[in-house]
Chains A and B, each alone.
Chain A
Amino acid sequence: MKILVCISNVPDTTAKINFTADNKSFDKNGVQYVINPWDEYALTRAIELKEAKGGTVTVLNVGEADTEPNIRKALAIGADDAIRVNAYPKDSFFVAQQIAAIAKENSYDIILMGKESIDYNGFQVHNMVGELLGIPSVTPAFKLDLLDDTTARLEREIEGGKEIVEVKLPFVASAQQPMSEPRIPNMRGIMTARTKPLKVVEPVGAEAKTSIAAYSKPEKKGGVKMIDPENAGELITLLRNEAKVL
Chain B
Amino acid sequence: MSVLVFVEGLNGEIKNSSLEAASYGSQVATALGATATAVAIGDVNEAALARLGEQGISKVLFDADARLKQFVADAYVAVIAAAAQKENAKVLVFSNTGIGATVGSKLAVRLNGSLATNVTTLPKTEGGTFTVTRSVFSGKAFADVELTADVKIIAVKKNAIDISRNSGNTATVENFSASLADADFAVAPKETVMQDSEGGILLPEAERVVSGGRGLKGPENWHLVEDLAKAIGAATACSKPVSDQDWRPHHEHVGQTGITISPNLYIAIGISGAIQHLAGVNSSKVIVVINKDPEAPFFKAADYGIVGDAFEVVPKLIEAAKALDK
Q: Which residues of A contact B (CB under 8 A)?
A: 11, 13-14, 17, 19, 37-38, 92-93, 96, 118-128, 130-132, 136-140, 142, 156-168, 176-178, 208-218, 221-222, 224-229, 232-240, 243, 245-246
- Asked if B192 and A159 make an inter-chain contact with CB atoms under 8 angstroms apart, the answer reads no
Does B285 touch A at the CB level, under 8 Å? yes
- A245 to B265 CA separation, bound complex (whole angstroms): 6
| Chain B contacts for A228, CB-based, 8 A | 306
Contact status A142-B108, CB under 8 Å: no
CA distance A204 to B275 in the complex (A): 37
Answer whether A226 and B306 are a contact pair too, CB < 8 Å, given A17-B140, A177-B250, A236-B320: yes
Min distance, Cβ A231 to any Cβ of chain B, angstroms = 8
B144 touches A212 (CB 8 A): yes
Contact pick for A123, options B105, B140, B232, B317, CB 8 Å = B105
Report if B186 contacts A (CB, 8 A).
Answer: yes
**Can you list 27 pairs linking A and B with CB atoms under 8 Å apart?**
A14-B276, A17-B141, A38-B257, A93-B109, A119-B136, A137-B187, A138-B187, A140-B98, A157-B98, A158-B192, A159-B98, A164-B189, A208-B148, A209-B114, A209-B149, A210-B147, A213-B131, A213-B144, A213-B145, A215-B143, A218-B142, A228-B306, A232-B306, A232-B308, A239-B265, A239-B288, A246-B324
Q: A131-B109, A216-B141 are in contact. Are A159 and B115 (CB under 8 A)?
A: no
B102 contacts A210, C-beta separation under 8 Å: no
Residue of B nearest to A234 (CB): B320
Of B97, B109, B135, B309, the contact of A159 (CB 8 Å cutoff): B97
Segment 45-93 of B: residues with Cβ below 8 Å from A: 70-71, 73
- On chain A, the residues within 8 Å of B324 by CB distance are 236, 240, 246
The majority secondary structure among interface residues of chain A is mixed
Using a CB–CB distance below 8 Å, which chain B residues touch chain A?
Answer: 10, 70-71, 73, 97-99, 101-102, 104-106, 108-110, 113-118, 131, 133, 135-149, 186-195, 197, 202, 204-205, 207-208, 232, 250-251, 253, 256-258, 260, 264-265, 275-276, 279, 282-283, 285-289, 299-309, 312-313, 316-317, 319-321, 324
**List of A residues within 8 angstroms of B256 by Cβ:** 13, 37, 118
- For B308, give the chain A residue with the smallest CB separation: A229
Q: Which of B145, B204, B289 is A224 in contact with, Cβ under 8 Å?
A: B289
Q: Contacts A209-B114, A240-B324 given: A118-B137 contact, CB under 8 Å?
A: yes
Question: Which chain A positions have C-beta within 8 A of B276?
Answer: 13-14
- A211:B142 contact, CB within 8 angstroms: no
* Shortest Cβ gap from A39 to chain B (Å): 11
Give the chain B neighbours of A118 by CB distance below 8 A.
137-138, 256, 279
Question: A233 touching B319 by the CB < 8 A rule?
Answer: yes
With A218-B282, A225-B303: A165-B187 Cβ-Cβ less than 8 Å: yes
CA distance A13 to B277 in the complex (A): 10
- Which of chain B's residues have a CB closer than 8 A to the CB of A163? 70, 189, 191-193
The answer to whether B115 touches A209 (Cβ under 8 A) is yes
